[in-house]
Structure 1
């Protein structure tokens, strides 16, 4: 099945604003609650399983000699029909 975008939001924010947002997501996950994302009139509610797959990806986009863009993506993945989730392949550390 092709990818279907259920929600998308992109905005310039300060580091402090981003940290607060990520902290709120982390607290919601830690408490075992569903996560509701809202932007304007769009919203989506997700209820990740106890052990979703957690992916961290850093990318560099652009061509040599031109301005490049760096990005870091934090992604939770799980099968909609599998409430158990899968175990990961390694310990992530953030320093």
Structure 2
């Protein structure tokens, strides 16, 4: 947080500039669930609004990943004797 001067480091897509609002959250750029580390290069300060958007996007990706894994065909599944091949 000190490195980022307690200012939001989200880059605006429309202008390419930093948000710059006061930051209260330390965010993982690449979430730990997706292989991100706790290294300083993977951390940034975010304001309340941007951390809520980022968390919602991360949760959506996790839901889609879980759904996709659930619907994968079972490998090496034994077929029931009555199933037609």
Taking structure 2 as the reference length, the TM-score comes to 0.29
> More helix per residue: 1 or 2?
2
> More strand per residue: 1 or 2?
1
